[in-house]
Amino acid sequence: GAVVSQHPSWVICKSGTSVKIECRSLDFQATTMFWYRQFPKQSLMLMATSNEGSKATYEQGVEKDKFLINHASLTLSTLTVTSAHPEDSSFYICSARDRRDYEQYFGPGTRLTVT
């Protein structure tokens, strides 16, 4: 099956710093990648949708200047949390849509803790 990797799997950073999370589709080309956030005991919340070579589309309430998304190639998207605060601590999950079908393949997630 299709594999999506995420790096890092967990990160601890200090308040005010920026953190970059990478999402890669390893064995397929993904024209579209999705970034989700999940707080404990809550469902997935879509943050943004990114299409290769174009600007990301952010969901309502998600600050695009705070959560910078770059989808530079068909296999790589990055999410940068800028000026992180403790309330940004969460589980961030990316998924990639295979261009041959519409199934979404999830990465293993990145647990971010901001101290």
Residue type for position 2: A
- The DSSP code sequence of 52-100 is TTSPPEEPTT--TTTEEEEEEETTEEEEEE-S--GGG-EEEEEEEEETT
If one asks whether residue 106 binds another protein (CB under 8 A), the answer comes out as yes
- Applying CB under 8 A, which part among 15-23, 40-48, 70-78, 81-89 lies near another protein? 40-48
91 binding another protein? (CB under 8 A)? yes
User: According to the binding rule CB under 8 A, does residue 62 interact with another protein?
Assistant: no
Give the CA distances from residue 113 to residues 72, 85, 86, 88, in Å, rounded to whole numbers and listed in that order.
Answer: 26, 9, 7, 8
Q: Report the residue from 49, 51, 80, 89 that binds another protein according to the rule CB under 8 A.
A: 49
The answer to whether residue 79 forms part of the interface with another protein (CB under 8 A) is no
At 105, which helix (H) or strand (E)? strand 104-106
> Minimal distance in Å, beta carbon 77 to another protein?
15
Answer for which of 79, 96, 107, 114 binds another protein (CB under 8 A) is: 107
Cβ proximity to another protein, 63 vs 103, nearer residue: 103
Half-sphere exposure of 89 (CA within 13 A, CB side): 10
Site residues, another protein (CB under 8 A): 1, 34, 42-44, 46, 49, 91, 93, 102-109, 111
